[in-house]
């Protein structure tokens, strides 16, 4: 049945049973073609308008491309006709890979007309010959022959992920079956379907399920009489491997100021283009606080944010409402305890999702949140919303080109209700969130900013007579403002000024003052007498002093009154004015005069703004100053007694911050009538230049939080330089909290816990009244710090954001990876990556002391890259406090100078992962290290790690051929900069020294020793003798002949006897030389008795070293414990003790004829040589025997043991029978 006959059925209804049958037929996994049936919607009310066939092809092809033979036998490419298309563009690929395009008027392409047989096809409809869509399909085909009976196979060339697809092939007349085979990822072909040939169908299909990403190739075998008679050429498809091409030619062209045309080249198969623009999103984040030690890996970003920064930087601020334009608010899940933070984060915002390849962008003020930087990215997307990699493109728009960004129509004049007030009006600016008005009095050295104005009008009371100039800026919430627009007219105010005779005649200050020196501000009295007080203002602090005239200095010779100002922070300008007070009235101020203290580092910054960006949140921003490293921002305060102060609230590199305002700020607003801020640019040494001030007015109590926010209670800032030179101190600088009731501040850091505490009253302060302390940590790594405030009510604030500094050149980078995991139920395995140049690695375990402060316990120091830890009660206590086991590792040199850490944690453990008792292995110091060699005259550093136990009373270091050479409680023991215990020893050079360490517990017990480690001090004078032997001079004698091989270069030898642990005495001995088996030896005879034994050991110990001709300059020792005699006991089974260093035993016996007391006349016979410490006498022995035993090794044999008498006895053998008398067992009576 062909397509034409099927179309006739569309005018009839189909029964439900028939439709169900048809559906069942269509869903077969491999079936004959029903393409004609499925090419049209049978219920379509307009059968002449083709519709997409359901279930016939996946979404990759809207055209249903097929291959078939025509009635004439030619091979044809067919597709579903598309409504509204006048013609079609067909692209076909030749075997060479070249693509050729042709236009046809119908939905059929006769392939017989082509010169070369193509292998791939794609089709697109066209409205006109030049107006065609992008290709959205691609068919891959192979034809194995020509003519009407040619076997061809085709399928989609590219298939999206998670989608099925169809493989189709043509019928072959003589076929009985078809085998469809598939090769996965270039492997072997295997059969996936067998289909029986049906003569009525011209082609066949197999619907493949969704496959994993990769390339799949298919071929068809034609089967006749159970044999493959022919085979198609293979055809391949790629699943989830074809990416959309990234758009090219993405360019921006300015057509007029502030207007840009964005254009790009079309991408094949693109259904639409996703155009995104970079903007700012405002997030509210609740950060969990911790009392853990501060490390580089815990570093948080700066609490300040410059709108044009390239990455997300947290801002300290309270919750903010959603912005009306591009800034959005994201509230993250809360943790407890928390510190609220807000941050502007750069995000991508979609501005276009259409098929067009162009966009006109008009840049109003609302597009300047990144300071004029316009960043875009463009992706091409297909019908499945799978998009290409984005193509970035950026350009910069000057603020002067912003469209409609200037405040126009501005007018200034006196208020109609108050002739001593100014009134300004202007036209609204599109996208502006607020406005800033700048007011300047002619001749004055200050400017006042009135910010956060949301209306297009402004009024302000004028308090000083003069000519006033005004400027207006339109601003957005992100802190960026448009061009400054001068108001065209000025306004002059006289304010009915009092008689000039009441004004001091003039004021005098030096033009320049040396840094660190005080200076005088001088003035002359007014012409009108009767003044009783002077009021001096300046230094941006309002009234500096108001007092009776007698309390000011007076120089009678010059007629000047004066006030001596203390040394002020240098690098900036300070200005002053003075006025006189009379009974019941006050004169006018003098003009303002200024002086520069030191060398001015910077002029005042420009474009300072203070805006209310939301309820309870103020944004303060300013223009960055060329050459400035940091900026000092201060908040204006008025004390209860009326004194003006400036409290630092930020020191750092950013030029835009936010502030949460709450009761603390409301108090200042009510006292001052405004929120006042001043900022100055600073150099790398934090010497700051002139101030710029901004004042925020027009607020109500609803703009202030009801309670102190977490941000206000924490110190307002924390600053450390990014890097300091090795050996220099690190200045840690922090701001006061913006809350009342602070009693102390804690500074934590340096991979530890609290390192400094100071009360708010006695904390050391620098010249900017910032609190500051100095630290001198070891060079070679980064150190991080954070601060918090403690309050009189017992509460503690959250921490500031962490700030880090690098001291000197970084010794080593962190390890490339670090992994800690449970390898057994109570065993931790740790492994880390190698760092180039590192000789050692320091591994540490996180603990908390009794005060709850984090400390790091070294548990390994050595060259390896793996370690293990067995968990017991000590580790369980740490786990319960922190809810994890924490580890960190750093690369070091042998001297113990280490680089930055990398950390890992193990969580989700239970009590079963910890031994319920303290394990002896954890009572042993966890590591020990000495360098393999030390230059003569230098200290020997003996380093060890602490024991993993809470019961340590002291550590004992043994070594240097002595006993305990050092003992100390853990809290008193010296440590190196990394926290590893360290003992420094200065020893005679020319020999080797060895060490080991043990722990003494609180109950008096001692742990095992660490392994012994040795170091060589200087070059070895002489090596130790390679061996020593001791032989008895005579049987039963206490005399030994000691023999050792000669040491190269040595002239004399020193023999010493250990008298007590750690004590040695010379041993007199007539040393002789001799040759044995052609080799030189030395030896002598010594006498050792009971009194020569070391009391603590119970045996004697010798040591021998080679020396020079004078008997000095001796080299390394060889130590020889003198073996003691075993103690023999027993009767028929003999047992004996095993003296130290025994390798084997020799047992002898002598038979006694009558009495065994006369031992001297006995004939001793060898019984056995054994490594066992027992012997069972044979039952065949008869008579009495006397036994003795001695121990031996390669150096010596011990004296004979005591003797034991043993006699042989006749044995009685019992035979045990059953009830019938049959033997069943035997037993022996000895």
CB-CB contact of 449 with 369 (8 Å): no
List of residues 6+ apart from 1067 with CB closer than 8 A: 1055, 1056, 1057, 1086, 1102
Residue 985's pLDDT is what?
92
DSSP string, 1151-1182: EESS-S--GGG---EEEEEESSSEEE--TT--
Of 786 and 75, the one with more pLDDT: 786
Which of helix, strand or coil describes residue 815? coil
Q: Is residue 329 scored above 60 in pLDDT?
A: no
Of 1121 and 293, the one with more pLDDT: 1121
Q: 909-928 burial, b for 16+ CB within 10 Å, e for fewer? A: beeebbbeebbeebbbbbbb
Residue 63's pLDDT is what?
78
Residue 4 pLDDT level (bands cut at 50, 70, 90): very low
Q: What is the pLDDT of residues 815-867, one digit of tens each?
A: 999 999 999 989 999 999 999 999 999 999 999 887 777 889 999 999 999 99
Residue 571's pLDDT is what?
87
Q: Is residue 1221 scored above 90 in pLDDT?
A: no
Q: Residue range 901-923: average pLDDT?
A: 94
Residue 655's pLDDT is what?
94
Residue 745 pLDDT level (bands cut at 50, 70, 90): very high
Q: Is residue 880 scored above 50 in pLDDT?
A: yes
Query: In order of start, what are the domains of the chain with their CATH numbers?
Result: 66-240 (2.60.40.10), 251-283+343-397 (2.60.40.10), 411-493 (2.60.40.10), 497-600 (2.60.40.10), 601-707 (2.60.40.10), 723-807 (2.60.40.10), 817-1017 (2.60.40.10), 1029-1122 (2.60.40), 1128-1207 (2.60.40)
> Using only C-alpha atoms, what is the Rg of the chain?
48
Of 56 and 939, the one with more pLDDT: 939
Query: What is the C-alpha to C-alpha distance for residues 19 and 727, in angstroms, rounded to an integer?
Result: 89
CB-CB contact of 231 with 220 (8 Å): yes
Of 441 and 40, the one with more pLDDT: 441
Residue 911's pLDDT is what?
93
Helix ranges (DSSP H) in 638-695: 663-672
Residue 293's pLDDT is what?
47
Residue 310 pLDDT level (bands cut at 50, 70, 90): very low
Q: What is the pLDDT of residues 274-304, one digit of tens each?
A: 999 999 887 766 555 544 444 443 322 233 3
Q: Is residue 1227 scored above 80 in pLDDT?
A: no
- Name residue, tokens 């254009």: 263
With a pLDDT cut of 90, the percent of the chain lying above it is 43
Residue 149's pLDDT is what?
67
Q: Residue range 255-263: average pLDDT?
A: 93
Mean pLDDT of the chain: 83
Residue 1159's pLDDT is what?
61
Residue 377's pLDDT is what?
95
Query: What is the C-alpha to C-alpha distance for residues 278 and 311, in angstroms, rounded to an integer?
Result: 11
Residue 1119's pLDDT is what?
86
Least confident of 216-230, 1006-1020, 1176-1190: 1176-1190
Of 1214 and 1176, the one with more pLDDT: 1176
Token representation of residue 1165: 């016979």
Q: Residue range 1062-1068: average pLDDT?
A: 85
Of 1104 and 293, the one with more pLDDT: 1104
803-807 and 723-724 beta bridge pairing? parallel
Residue 719's pLDDT is what?
95
Other Cβ atoms within 10 Å of 800 Cβ, number:
26
Residue 755's pLDDT is what?
84
Q: Is residue 592 scored above 90 in pLDDT?
A: no
Residue 1228's pLDDT is what?
58
Token representation of residue 30: 């491999």
Of 989 and 10, the one with more pLDDT: 989
Q: What is the pLDDT of residues 26-53, one digit of tens each?
A: 333 343 332 322 222 323 333 333 333 3
Q: Residue range 333-348: average pLDDT?
A: 60
Can you give the pTM of this predicted structure? 0.54
Of 596 and 21, the one with more pLDDT: 596
Q: Residue range 5-30: average pLDDT?
A: 33
């Amino acid at each position: 049945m062909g397509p034409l006959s099927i179309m006739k059925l569309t005018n009839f209804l189909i029964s439900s049973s028939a439709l169900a049958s048809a559906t069942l037929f269509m869903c077969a996994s491999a079936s004959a073609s029903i393409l004609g049936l499925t090419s049209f919607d049978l219920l379509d009310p307009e059968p002449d308008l083709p519709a997409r066939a359901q279930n016939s092809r996946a979404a990759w092809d809207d055209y249903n491309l097929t291959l078939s033979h025509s009635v004439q036998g030619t091979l044809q490419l067919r597709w579903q006709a598309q409504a509204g298309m006048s013609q079609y563009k067909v692209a076909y690929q030749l075997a060479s890979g070249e693509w050729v395009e042709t236009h046809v008027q119908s939905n059929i392409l006769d392939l017989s007309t082509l010169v070369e047989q193509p292998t791939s096809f794609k089709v697109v409809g066209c409205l006109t010959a030049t107006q065609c869509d992008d290709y959205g399909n691609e068919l891959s085909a192979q034809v194995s022959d020509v003519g009407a009976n040619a076997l061809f196979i085709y399928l989609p060339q590219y298939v999206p992920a998670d989608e099925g697809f169809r493989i189709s092939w043509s019928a072959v007349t003589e076929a009985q079956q078809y085998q469809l085979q598939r090769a996965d990822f270039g492997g072997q072909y295997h059969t996936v379907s067998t289909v029986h040939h049906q003569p009525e169908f011209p082609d066949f299909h197999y619907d493949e399920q969704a496959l994993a990403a990769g390339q799949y190739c298919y071929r068809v075998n034609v089967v006749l009489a159970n044999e493959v008679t022919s085979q198609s050429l293979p055809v391949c498809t790629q699943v989830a491997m074809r990416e959309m091409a990234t758009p090219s030619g993405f360019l921006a062209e300015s057509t007029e100021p502030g207007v840009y045309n964005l254009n790009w080249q079309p991408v094949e198969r693109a259904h639409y283009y996703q155009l995104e623009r970079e903007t700012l999103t405002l997030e509210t984040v609740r950060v969990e606080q911790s009392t853990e030690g501060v490390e580089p890996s815990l570093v948080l970003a700066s609490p300040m944010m410059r709108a044009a920064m390239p990455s997300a930087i947290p801002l300290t601020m309270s919750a903010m409402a959603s912005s009306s334009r591009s800034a959005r608010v994201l509230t993250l899940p809360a943790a407890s305890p928390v510190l609220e933070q807000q941050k502007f984060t750069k995000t991508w915002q979609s501005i276009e999702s259409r098929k067009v390849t162009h966009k006109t962008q008009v840049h109003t003020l609302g597009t300047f949140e990144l300071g004029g930087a316009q960043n875009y990215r463009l992706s091409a997307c297909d019908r499945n919303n799978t998009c290409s990699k984005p193509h970035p493109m950026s350009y910069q728009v000057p603020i002067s080109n912003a469209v409609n960004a200037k405040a126009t129509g501005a007018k200034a004049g006196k208020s109609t209700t108050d002739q001593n007030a100014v009134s300004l009006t202007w036209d609204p600016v599109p996208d502006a969130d607020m406005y800033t008005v700048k007011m300047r009095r002619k001749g004055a050295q200050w400017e006042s900013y009135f910010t956060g104005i949301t209306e297009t009008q402004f009024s302000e009371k004028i308090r000083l007579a003069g000519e006033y100039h005004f400027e207006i800026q339109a601003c957005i919430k992100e802190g960026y403002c448009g061009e400054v627009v001068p108001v065209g007219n000025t306004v002059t105010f006289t304010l009915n000024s009092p008689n000039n005779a009441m004004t001091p005649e003039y004021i005098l200050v030096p033009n320049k003052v040396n840094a660190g020196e005080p200076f005088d501000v001088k003035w002359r009295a007014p012409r009108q007498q009767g003044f009783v007080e002077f009021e001096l203002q300046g230094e941006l602090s309002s009234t500096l002093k108001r007092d009776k005239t007698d309390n000011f200095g007076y120089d009678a010779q010059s007629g000047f009154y004066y006030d001596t100002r203390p040394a002020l922070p240098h690098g900036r300008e300070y200005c002053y004015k003075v006025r006189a007070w009379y009974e019941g009235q006050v004169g006018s101020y003098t003009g303002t005069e200024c002086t520069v203290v030191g060398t001015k580092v910077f002029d005042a910054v420009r474009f300072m703004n203070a805006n209310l960006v939301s309820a309870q949140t103020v944004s303060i921003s300013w223009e960055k100053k060329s050459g400035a490293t940091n900026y000092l921002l201060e908040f204006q305060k008025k004390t209860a007694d009326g004194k003006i102060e400036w409290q630092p609230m930020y020191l750092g590199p950013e030029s835009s911050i936010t502030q949460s305002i709450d009761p603390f700020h409301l108090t200042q607003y009510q006292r001052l009538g405004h929120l006042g801020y001043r900022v100055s640019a600073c150099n790398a040494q934090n010497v700051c230049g002139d101030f710029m001030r901004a004042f925020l007015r027009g607020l109500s109590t609803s703009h202030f939080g009801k309670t102190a926010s977490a941000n206000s209670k924490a110190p307002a800032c924390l600053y450390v330089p990014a890097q300091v030179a090795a050996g220099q101190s690190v200045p840690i600088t922090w701001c006061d909290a913006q809350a009342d009731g602070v009693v102390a501040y804690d500074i934590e850091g340096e991979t530890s816990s609290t390192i400094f505490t100071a009360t708010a009253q006695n904390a050391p302060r620098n010249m900017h009244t910032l609190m500051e302390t100095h630290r001198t940590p070891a060079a070679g790594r980064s150190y991080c710090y954070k601060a918090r405030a403690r309050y009189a009510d017992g509460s503690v604030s959250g921490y500031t954001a962490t700030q880090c500094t690098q001291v000197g050149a970084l010794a080593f980078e962190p390890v490339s990876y670090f992994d800690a995991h449970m390898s057994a139920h109570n065993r931790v395995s740790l492994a880390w990556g190698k760092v180039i140049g590192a000789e050692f690695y320091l591994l540490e375990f996180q603990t908390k002391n009794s005060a709850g402060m984090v400390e790091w316990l070294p548990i390994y120091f050595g060259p390896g890259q793996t370690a293990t830890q067995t968990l017991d009660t000590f580790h369980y206590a740490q786990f319960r406090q922190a809810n994890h086991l924490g580890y960190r590792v750093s690369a070091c040199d042998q001297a113990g100078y280490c680089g930055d850490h990398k950390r890992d944690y193990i969580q989700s453990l239970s009590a079963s992962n910890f031994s319920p008792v303290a394990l002896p292995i954890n009572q042993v110091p966890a590591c020990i290290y000495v360098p393999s060699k030390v230059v003569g005259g230098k200290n020997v550093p003996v380093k060890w790690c602490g024991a993993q136990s809470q019961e340590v009373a002291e550590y004992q270091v043994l070594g240097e051929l002595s006993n305990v050479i050092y003992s100390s409680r853990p809290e008193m023991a010296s440590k190196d900069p990394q926290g590893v215990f360290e003992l420094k020893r200065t020893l005679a050079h020319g020999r080797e020294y060895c060490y080991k360490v043990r722990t003494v517990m609180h109950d008096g017990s001692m742990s095992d020793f660490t392994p012994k480690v040795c170091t060589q001090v200087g070059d070895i004078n002489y090596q130790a003798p390679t061996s020593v032997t001791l032989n008895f001079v005579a049987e039963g004698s206490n005399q030994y002949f000691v023999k050792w091989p000669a040491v190269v270069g040595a002239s004399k030898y020193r023999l010493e006897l250990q008298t007590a642990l750690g004590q040695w005495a010379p041993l007199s001995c007539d040393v002789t030389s001799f040759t044995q088996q052609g080799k030189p030896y030395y030896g002598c005879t010594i006498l050792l008795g009971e009194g020569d034994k070391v009391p603590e050991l119970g045996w004697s110990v010798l040591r021998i070293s080679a020396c020079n001709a004078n008997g000095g300059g001796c080299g390394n020792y060889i130590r020889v414990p003198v073996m003691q005699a075993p103690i023999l006991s027993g009767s028929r089974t003999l047992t004996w003790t095993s003296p130290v260093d025994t390798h084997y035993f020799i047992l002898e016996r002598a038979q006694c004829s009558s009495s065994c007391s006369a031992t001297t006349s006995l004939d001793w016979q060898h019984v056995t040589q054994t490594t066992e410490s027992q012997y069972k006498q044979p039952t065949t022995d008869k008579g009495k025997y006397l036994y003795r035993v001695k121990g031996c090794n390669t150096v010596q044999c011990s004296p004979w043991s005591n003797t034991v008498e043993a006699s042989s006895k006749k044995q009685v053998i019992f035979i045990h029978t059953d009830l019938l008398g049959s033997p069943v067992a035997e037993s022996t009576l000895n």
